Amino acid sequence: MSEQINELFQQSQNEFIAAVRDGREQEIARSISLLEDKSPLSREIMKQLYQNFNKPYIIGITGPAGSGKSSLLNLMLKEWLKEPELKIAVIAVDPTSQRSGGAFLGDRIRMKDINNDQRIFIRSMASRGKMGGVNSAVYDTAVIMAAAGYEMIVIETVGVGQTEIDVVSLADTTLVVTVPEAGDEIQIFKSELMEVGDIFILNKDDLPRAAKMEVLLKSNFSLIETEKLNRKNEYESKGSWQSVLLKTSVLNNHGIKDLVKAVENHYNYLRNNNILEQNKKLQLKKHLLNLLQSEILEKIILEFDQEDKLDKYLRDILSGEASPYQLIEEFIDKNLTIQVDL
């Protein structure tokens, strides 16, 4: 395996790992690419990076498309970079390109005025929802970033679907961004998203419908808090934190400092109540489940595509002699029998 590393990168495996830990962008980018491509090399790399693994502080940002998440994040990064020693990594989880399988949106374009700062590393990743929902590489990418010395990692998602909820569930602090124009579309905020959100941001608060949306959000808060009380055990890691609603305007650069302060307050809350350590275990468990789901699904689909009787089944279904359910049931019975020792 070391020889393969040397052949690809003119380095030994140990030299490559050392370069990642030193924060060299070229090696960081290559290690993430290997991870996304599911290269066998990435497993050897991750095996070493998980040694002495220090989990970073992870912030998740989600919300409807067009709510201004990237512009808002750009202003937040500028505030954070006022701390001279802070290193921040951004993982932008974008829609998967149907042709290339890569991220459809650009990664650095939206933050072009700060991407030359050596303390910022921005990486765009495809959501790849076709194989088990959330991209299982997102968490390992955060591990790579942490090994490279980035203390804060921001995961930005597109939209508010189940994939985005799965992604931000890996975060310590979750920001949910919306805008007044969302109107009745606030219903797309599934209860699960409202539950995982720690800080809610009403962006573009200078627009006419901002007050109406504020009332609607606060009403949702009341319902969610009631749900949490009824299902208390599911929210132990959240402790007694009460969701915060802030109003911002990227256009007027309004509310950004308050937002950065709210994130700091939530971090201090998590740290002071020993919740960061609890989150570390919960997030790792979710990562393991994502990996399991992705690996099993990929193997099953490969096996299904090579099924000897597949062409016959397709002909039978098209001729009306069989149903798709019959095909799936027989395939599962044949290939997915799990033996349980009692």
Domain boundaries, the chain: 1-51, 53-273
Lowest mean pLDDT among 54-68, 86-100, 319-333: 86-100
Q: What is the Cα Rg of the chain in Å?
A: 22
pLDDT value of position 101? 42
pLDDT band of residue 153 (cuts 50, 70, 90) is very high
End-to-end CA distance of the chain: 41
Amino acid symbol at 48: Q
pLDDT value of position 76? 95
- Phi, then psi, of 282 in degrees rounded to 5: -65, -40
Rounded average pLDDT over 160-168: 71
Choose from 6-15, 89-98, 254-263, 325-334 the range with maximum mean pLDDT: 254-263
Which of the 8 DSSP states describes residue 316? H
State pTM to two decimals. 0.82
CATH class of the 53-273 domain in this structure = alpha beta
Distances (CA, A) of 248 to 185, 210, 255: 19, 10, 5
Between CA 131 and CA 135 the distance in angstroms is 8
pLDDT value of position 168? 76
pLDDT value of position 190? 57
Look at residue 130 and tell me whether its pLDDT is greater than 70.
no
Contact 163, 134 (CB under 8 A): yes
Between CA 286 and CA 139 the distance in angstroms is 9
Distances (CA, A) of 139 to 97, 107, 145, 284: 21, 18, 10, 8
Which residues fall within 8 angstroms of residue 39, CB to CB, at 6 or more apart? Answer: none
* Angle, helix 69-80 to helix 256-272, in steps of 10 degrees: 70
- Identify the residue whose tokens are 């901002």: 210
Amino acid symbol at 171: A
What is the overall mean pLDDT for the chain?
A: 80
